[in-house]
Amino acid sequence: MLVIFHQPKNGAADMSFMVTKSAGPCGATVSGLDLSARLSKKTIAALRQTWLEHKVLAFPDQAMANTDLEKFTRYFGDFGDDPYFEPIDGHDHIAAICRRADETVPVFAEVWHTDWSFQKVPPAGTCLYGITIPPVGGQTLFIDQQKALNEMPHELRARIEGKWAIHSARGGYAPDGAYGEREKDSDRSMKIIYSQDAYATQAHPFIRQHPETREETLYGILGYIIAVQDMPQEQAKQLLADLYQWQTREQFQYVQKWSANMLLMWDNRSVLHSASGGYDGFDRLLHRTTIAAPDDASC
């Protein structure tokens, strides 16, 4: 797909860009844009529609400073709140997703999730810019949750229809969580903050209407989801396990390979994602920002 605009004017670039759809259920590569330039409202609007359609967009070969990453993020909304990441120096809304070649702790976020689903108004999207990329491993995996819902067996859908899931950050970011006190003396280079606040809970429906596309999507997964509202825990555990087995099927997955100077953005409202390892012995560094959802986007 080729999107064509007029020549640059008034200091903001109206640019043409090419969209190449992935072979998976979601994901596309965008080429022909210089994201360090200031984009016009027309170009941004076209990018937003492309993002909503494909859910995950990769922009290879982008030379971006931290200020460029911040500028790009703000095209799509305010900065989201990243409560458990320590920002990099001088940039309050950028977190370093990093790992040294000699680290021995588990790879960060190597589980399926959607970012910060435990918040009252979870973020709309995430941007991740590749700086130091290993020659092997380190892919980011995605699951199209609209497709997972559309193809869900009627019996399973009936079990979640109208029900609300209880989300919490406690498994990861509470003092006794995976990134809590047990890692205090570890060799992890990524700056993660744990807090008592992680024990808080927030309810969201299993099936949500996307606020922009109006399409129904499945939202959340076992991990951040710790219970089901008004359901006995043993019954809830079985439901969450059955749901996990369905929504993580390979037929719904897309694998994004990284290259240096690639920007990746995804829609947290319609996909799950997971980091992957396989690059022991190599440094890895990416810079991340979060795109906030509008204040009126809560369930």
220: helix, coil or strand?
A: coil
The predicted-structure confidence for 128-177, as pLDDT tens digits, reads as follows: 999 999 999 999 999 999 999 999 999 999 999 999 999 999 999 999 99
The predicted-structure confidence for 78-129, as pLDDT tens digits, reads as follows: 999 999 999 999 999 999 999 999 999 999 999 999 999 999 999 999 999 9
| Separation of alpha carbons 144 and 146, rounded Å | 6
Contact 249, 148 (CB under 8 A): yes
Q: What is the 3-state secondary structure (H, E, C) of 102-122?
A: CCCCCCCCCCCECCCCCCCCC
Query: Higher model confidence: residue 41 or residue 3?
Result: 41
Beta partners for 272?
143
Mean pLDDT for all residues in the chain: 95
Contact 123, 294 (CB under 8 A): no
Q: What's the alpha-carbon Rg for the chain, to the nearest Å?
A: 19
The predicted-structure confidence for 30-67, as pLDDT tens digits, reads as follows: 999 999 999 999 999 999 999 999 999 999 999 999 99
| Separation of alpha carbons 77 and 138, rounded Å | 28
33: helix, coil or strand?
A: coil
Q: Is the pTM of this model over 0.85?
A: yes
The pLDDT, as a whole number, for residue 298 is 54
* Mean pLDDT confidence for 203-214: 97
